[in-house]
């Protein structure tokens, strides 16, 4: 297969005339009950005592945290373990196991025999059994899959009742999977003569700055129909139109020329719109609006990865699907905040780890400019966990891949598919056959993008041929095997599909400052000097060197962009510890020091000058306290209370000195720590200061945004910190704070980023961690003002106002 993939991509959202198509979002009116099937049957589906919830919903995020929930004795083979040990917190220590029931009663108007109805689930965790008006209409298995049922013969005009049973087995995940209807549920009502579900595919065999050939394939149901497609630019101007009555096997194919197209890229995420109208004679039968972007992708040994004809390397991060304190219940405002933080980092790519991404995340990636590696599975036929996807692979893998590709192949963001992550099937001929079968399935559904697998057993894949058959060989860690893999694999390039796994806790610094693997401390934290990593992984600089020095390395996806619930390595045998330490950004969405190390390389538009550690070290007077600077400048001078500690210049003597400026012999004394960045002539160009703080005195509140939509689900993230009487941040403050929200909104959650905290996210009180935490405020459906007041013992209460509008 040639390594050339050229595509114009789109995502589809239905915005149609009422007479041709309507979409009913089943958000409100849900009743929820946690209990097994026997309990549900015993109460005869009398839901009067059930909890009222909105969907998306994650029943487990409300806790409590309990080590007994996910305690297991296991050797994690992916981590190189040989001897089983007791693990806790591996899936977040949250109550996701068991059975839950959801029930929704809704009215349908004007539904007749000539109409068609589709019931769409964008994610249901997990093994959903679906009932409509007392009859079972279908089931699915994979909690991350998108799926739908044709309910045309079951839907009634008037009142209908939808019930969904979800069951989460213990030992079914390696991280916190969430629980419930955590992504949207909707009903699509259209004419029987209509465009099929996920039936529009837009590609371009030509996509250059001069011209694009837009090819639109539209699958439909009906006879003697006509399709009219109109293209609009981002300003809403009509730029082209095409009509056809010629179809083959119920598929129209249209070719439309676009002159001087704006090419989609992370730097210019320009989006067009296509409106497809299906007619029977002059009668409009269906209408679908598709927003799309034009771009080309190309992978080759000669040029690596090219976007729109230009070679570039992925500056990517891996992201799990949970959103910290709100769990897995998808929320577009929370996703947007995540991606804005990543945008400032200079990140240009995201890998959905290790599951199918939400539609909302892909829409934002298109809009904000992130290339996307869309992953499918963490398991194939051979298990990693007892009750994982291995149980479903034979019956569901084909359908799950088909639905993944058909639902999302039109996103310009997606530039690569992943068929799996660290699957045990990397060993042996059976695994090679599965890899080929899956890759061919992706190719059949989408011949325009390559397929990868995140491989950790690199030696085995060299011997078996597993790595050789992939379009893109992805290496998870194993930096010492890159050269050998490049020589043995035929593709001529290597992708760092998962890199680093460096661990740190925001604002926590340990002494002495040394490199360490699987280092543990009595407080179950990891040092933010960014020199600690895992047994299978490495420090960031090992990957930086490969990216910078090897043209055949086409980029990296760092593990991880944000901390996530579960997998508290290196403390998965310790309690309490219930979330990861891998993130550049903590669970609350507050950047750690390591964020700025990557920013100094990735963000080429803005300067970076970040100094660590904090300078509150009572008891360390007279002791060595190393100071690091993460900066886009190559040299700087450090001062302690005005006394120079010398100039440091980046150099190649060690991997760390190549990318960090380090003063390892600084003697601590309270006062002011200042770093001055210098140009090549040693002239000052920027500076940063850190001062020793006094006792906590006042609160400081900063919102990521102050204007919210009055839609009942928009969120503002308010960072709360403590300062002394002079306004200096108190980096070690641990005050207990209380939150009160009044007006046109409500308190949603709080998070401090501490992986060891057992405080519940949804309670309006929380302890500061390293002087900070974040409060989430949710809008109501009323216009007006929201007031958040934060208070704490011995501190002056502080408030902030937010506005809501329609």
CATH number at 751 reads: 2.60.40.10
User: Is residue 388 scored above 90 in pLDDT?
Assistant: yes
**741 lies in some domain:** yes
Q: Rounded to whole angstroms, how far apart are CA atoms 148 and 151?
A: 9
- Catalytic site residue from 360, 498, 532, 637: 498
Residue 39 pLDDT class (50, 70, 90 cuts): low
The answer to the question of residue 525 being in a domain is no
β-strand partners of 784? 804
Residue from 193, 287, 422, 637 carrying the catalytic annotation? 422
307 occurs within a structural domain: no
Residue 612 belongs to a domain: no
Q: Is residue 513 part of a domain?
A: no
Residues 248 and 376 in one domain: no
* Same domain flag for 318 and 467: yes
596 band by pLDDT with thresholds 50, 70 and 90: very high
Would 509 be classed as within a structural domain?
A: no
Do 558 and 585 fall within a single domain?
A: yes
pLDDT at 22 over 70: yes
CB 114, CB 126: distance < 8 Å = no
Number of domains in the chain: 5
For 454-504, what is each residue's pLDDT tens digit?
A: 999 999 999 999 999 999 999 999 999 999 999 999 999 999 999 999 999
Domain identity same for 55 and 182: yes
Helix (H, G, I), strand (E, B) or coil at 657: helix
Residues 6+ apart with CB under 8 A from 122: 146, 183, 184, 185, 330, 358, 359
CATH of the domain at 183: 2.60.120.260
Q: What is the tens place of the pLDDT at every residue in 283-342?
A: 999 999 999 999 999 999 999 999 999 999 999 999 999 999 999 999 999 999 999 999
Residue 301 lies inside a defined structural domain of this protein: no
- Say if CB 500 and CB 659 are below 8 A apart: no
Distance CA 481, CA 493 (A): 13
Checking if the pLDDT of 9 tops 60, the result is no
Domain boundary among 602, 633, 654: 602
Residues 484, 551 within the same domain: yes
The pTM (predicted TM-score) of the whole model is: 0.96
pLDDT score for 17: 33
461 and 578 assigned to the same domain: yes
Q: Among 106-110, 561-565, 612-616, 658-662, which is the least confidently predicted range?
A: 106-110
**Residue 381's domain is classified under what CATH number?**
3.20.20.80
| pLDDT (tens digit per residue) in 62-104 | 999 999 998 888 877 766 777 888 889 999 999 999 999 999 9
622 and 556 within one domain: no
Q: Where a domain ends, among 167, 191, 215?
A: 191
The pLDDT tens digits of the residues spanning 394-448 come to 999 999 999 999 999 999 999 999 999 999 999 989 999 999 999 999 999 999 9
Q: Report the alpha-carbon distance of residue 483 to residue 77 in Å, rounded.
A: 24
- Once rounded to an integer, what is the mean pLDDT over residues 133-137? 94
Helix ranges (H only) for 409-527 are 428-445, 458-464, 466-469, 482-488
Strands 707-709 and 795-805: parallel
Closest to 173 measured CA to CA, from 475, 358, 400, 377: 377
- Look at residue 583 and tell me if it is in a domain: yes
| pLDDT tier, 11 (very low <50, low <70, confident <90, very high otherwise) | very low
444 φ, ψ (degrees, to nearest 5): -65, -45
Same domain, 151 and 227: no
Q: What percent of the chain lies above the pLDDT cut of 90?
A: 92
Are residues 450 and 561 both part of a single domain? yes
State how far the alpha carbon of 442 is from the alpha carbons of 417, 466, 553, in Å.
8, 16, 24
Shared domain check, 372 and 292: no
Among 665, 691, 717, where does a domain finish?
691
Q: What span, in angstroms and rounded, lies between the C-alpha atoms of 298 and 204?
A: 13
Judge whether 422 counts as a catalytic residue.
Answer: yes
Do residues 54 and 164 share a domain? yes
683 and 738 together in one domain: no
- 625 is in which domain, residue-wise? 617-691
């Amino acid at each position: 297969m040639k390594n050339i993939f050229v595509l114009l991509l789109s995502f589809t959202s239905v915005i149609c005339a009422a007479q041709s198509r309507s979409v009913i979002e089943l958000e409100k009116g849900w009743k929820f009950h946690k209990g097994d099937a026997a309990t549900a049957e015993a109460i005869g589906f009398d839901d009067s005592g059930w909890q009222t919830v909105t969907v998306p919903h994650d029943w487990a995020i409300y806790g409590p945290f309990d080590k007994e929930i996910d305690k297991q004795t296991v050797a994690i083979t992916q981590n190189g373990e040989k001897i089983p040990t007791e693990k806790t917190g591996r899936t977040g220590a949250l109550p996701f196991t068991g059975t839950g029931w959801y029930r929704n009663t809704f009215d349908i108007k004007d539904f007749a025999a000539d109409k068609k109805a589709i019931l769409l689930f964008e994610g249901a965790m997990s093994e959903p059994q679906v009932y409509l008006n007392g009859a079972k209409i279908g089931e699915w298995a994979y909690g991350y899959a998108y799926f739908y049922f044709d309910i045309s013969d079951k839907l009634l005009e008037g009142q209908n009742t939808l019930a969904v049973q979800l069951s989460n087995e213990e030992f079914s995940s390696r991280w916190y999977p969430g629980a419930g209807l955590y992504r949207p549920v909707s009903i699509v009502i259209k004419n029987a003569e209509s465009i099929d579900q996920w039936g529009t595919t837009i590609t371009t065999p030509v996509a250059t700055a001069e011209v694009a050939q837009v090819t639109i394939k539209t699958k439909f149901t009906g006879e003697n129909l006509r399709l009219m497609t109109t293209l609009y630019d981002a300003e809403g101007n009509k730029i082209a139109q095409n009509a056809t009555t010629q179809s083959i096997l119920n598929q129209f194919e249209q070719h439309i020329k676009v002159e001087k197209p704006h090419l989609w890229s992370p730097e210019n995420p320009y989006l067009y719109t296509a409106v497809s109208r299906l007619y029977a004679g002059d009668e409009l039968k269906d209408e679908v609006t598709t927003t799309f972007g034009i771009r080309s992708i190309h992978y080759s040994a000669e040029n690596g990865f090219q976007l729109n004809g230009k070679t570039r390397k992925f500056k990517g991060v891996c992201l799990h699907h949970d959103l910290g304190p709100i769990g897995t219940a998808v929320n577009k405002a929370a996703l947007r905040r995540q991606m804005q933080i990543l945008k400032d980092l200079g990140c240009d790519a995201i890998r959905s780890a290790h599951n199918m991404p939400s539609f909302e995340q892909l829409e934002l990636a298109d809009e904000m400019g992130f290339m996307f590696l869309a992953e499918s599975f963490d398991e194939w036929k051979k298990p990693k966990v007892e009750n994982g996807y291995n149980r479903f692979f034979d019956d569901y893998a084909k359908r799950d891949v088909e639905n993944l590709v058909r639902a999302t192949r039109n996103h310009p963001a997606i530039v690569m598919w992943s068929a799996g992550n660290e699957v045990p099937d990397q060993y042996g001929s059976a695994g090679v056959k599965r890899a080929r079968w899956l890759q061919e399935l992706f190719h059949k559904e989408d011949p325009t993008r390559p397929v990868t697998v995140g491989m950790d057993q690199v030696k085995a894949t060299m011997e078996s041929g597993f790595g050789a058959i992939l379009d893109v060989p992805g290496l998870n860690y194993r930096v010492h095997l890159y050269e050998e893999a490049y020589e043995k694999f035929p593709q001529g390039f290597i992708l760092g599909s998962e890199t680093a796994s460096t661990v740190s806790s925001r604002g926590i610094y340990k002494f002495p400052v040394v490199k360490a693997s699987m280092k543990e401390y009595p407080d179950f934290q990891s040092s933010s000097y960014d020199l600690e990593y895992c047994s299978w992984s490495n420090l960031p600089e090992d990957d930086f060197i490969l990216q910078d020095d090897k043209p055949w390395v086409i980029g990296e996806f760092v593990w991880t962009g944000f901390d996530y619930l579960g997998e508290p390595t290196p403390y998965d045998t310790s309690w309490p510890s219930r979330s990861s330490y891998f993130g550049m950004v903590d669970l609350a969405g507050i950047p750690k020091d390591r964020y700025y190390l990557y920013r100094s390389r990735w963000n080429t538009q803005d300067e970076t000058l970040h100094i660590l550690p904090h300078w509150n070290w009572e008891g360390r007077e007279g002791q060595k306290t190393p100071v690091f600077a993460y900066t886009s400048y190559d040299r700087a001078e450090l001062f302690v209370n005005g006394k120079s500690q010398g100039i440091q210049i980046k150099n190649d003597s060690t991997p760390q000195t190549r990318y960090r400026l380090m003063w390892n012999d600084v003697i601590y004394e309270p006062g002011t720590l200042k770093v001055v960045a210098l140009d090549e002539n040693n002239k000052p160009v920027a500076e940063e200061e850190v001062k020793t703080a006094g006792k906590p005195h006042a609160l400081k509140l900063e919102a990521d945004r102050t204007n919210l939509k009055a839609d009942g689900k928009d969120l503002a993230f308010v960072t709360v910190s403590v300062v002394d009487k002079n306004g200096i941040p108190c980096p070690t403050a641990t005050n207990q704070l209380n939150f009160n929200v009044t007006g046109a909104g409500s308190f949603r959650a709080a998070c401090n980023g501490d992986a060891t905290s057992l405080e519940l996210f949804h309670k309006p009180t929380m302890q500061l961690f390293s002087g900070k935490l974040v409060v989430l405020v949710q809008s109501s459906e009323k216009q007006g003002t929201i007031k958040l007041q934060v208070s704490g013992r011995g501190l002056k209460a502080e408030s902030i106002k937010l506005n809501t509008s329609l």
